Amino acid sequence: MRTSLRTLLFCLLASAAVVAQNKSAAATPSPDNPLSTFNKYMYGHVKDILLRSADKMPEESYSFKPIDTVRSYGQIVGHVADAQYMFCSIALGDKNPAPKIEQTKTTKADLIAALKEAFAYCDKAYDGMTDASAAQMVKFFDHDAPKLGVLTVNNMHDLEHYGNLVTYMRMKGIVPPSSEQAQQPQPKK
């Protein structure tokens, strides 16, 4: 139990660090649901950078992998999509649809479409979450965990694989979304 609490605390602190780095927007937690509102805000940020990462990599680089023992860029995108269904089905109390995107999709267009569908599925879990429902316990990898904990781990998992995508993009000379400079307003002439 202490490990679970430490993990949840770490997740919340890591999420706060990501928000501190993103100066372009700040979460305004609902006074009635501050925990679930903040978690949803973080999910929206991670969703955005993952979708932009999928879009930025050229089609011909979707099969790129630095060495043979790791996933290709496209496989990581597919894995993230599959994981959305796994984590969010638990929070929603659904049976995991398990579409096996990583094993069945290879083109950029198919993977981006599948990732968008997976995020749309997850949107239901985050949109329906309140602090009261966030505390409801569910089975998560043979342990009891609060629904909020499951969705926090989803965010952590997404960020873990965003890190993989960042490395691949950097190897291809592409600036990842989280490193792009915010567009400055142009002065009127």
pLDDT tens for 70-120 read 999 999 999 999 999 999 999 999 999 999 999 999 999 999 999 999 999
Tokens encoding 80 = 């993230």
Per-residue confidence band for 2, with pLDDT thresholds at 50, 70 and 90: low
Percent of the chain with pLDDT over 70: 80
Position 155 confidence tier, pLDDT thresholds 50, 70, 90: very high
pTM score, two decimals? 0.82
pLDDT in tens, 158-188: 999 999 999 999 999 999 999 997 655 556 6
List the CATH code of the domain at 2-19+34-177. 1.20.120.450
- Would the pLDDT of 20 be above 60? no
Domain coordinates of the chain in residue numbers? 2-19+34-177
Mean pLDDT of the chain: 87
- 90 against 27, higher pLDDT: 90
pLDDT at position 16 over 90: no
